Amino acid sequence: MTSMYRFRRRVQFYETDAAGIVHFSWYPRYMEEAEHALWRAAGLSIAQPAPGIGWPRVAVSFEFYRPLRFEDEFDISIRITAIEAKRIHYACTLERGEIQLAAGKMTIACVSRGPDGSMRSMPIPKDIAERFEVANLEDWDVR
């Protein structure tokens, strides 16, 4: 079962603003990259081949501590903090060496999608839920 994932990334020029620092809108994208890597580590894809299932984001937040700049290398860590019947909750940190740069949270919901584009919350399918577990806080090294 998968509960957390960590990887290193480099800031690209197009992610920066006129001041040369990463624009705040990139941080949720970084968290999504980590989320997708976590799903792949569990042998899944968030873009399910089964028609009619989706995973919209229902809550996202970030706190910023230090800026990231073009070509900075940093680590993204994500962990599952809770799994409910219809939702998965994540926590994410971005770090450069010993320095914590940002911390975020995200909640996704499992939905069924109708042919007209409507969405309705649904229980997380058992074969997906069984691949994940809530991370043990003792294994999560947050500075």
Distance, CA of 83 to CA of 107 (rounded, Å): 10
Model pLDDT, residue 52:
83
Whether pLDDT at 102 is above 90: yes
117-131: per-residue pLDDT in tens? 889 999 999 999 999
How much is the average pLDDT of 90-111?
97
Provide the pLDDT confidence category of residue 142 given band limits of 50, 70 and 90: very low
Distance, CA of 39 to CA of 60 (rounded, Å): 18
In contact, 88 and 108? CB cutoff 8 Å: yes
2-20: per-residue pLDDT in tens? 899 999 999 999 999 999 9
Domains of the chain: 4-136 (3.10.129.10)
Distance, CA of 3 to CA of 79 (rounded, Å): 6
41-73: per-residue pLDDT in tens? 999 999 876 678 999 999 999 999 999 999 999
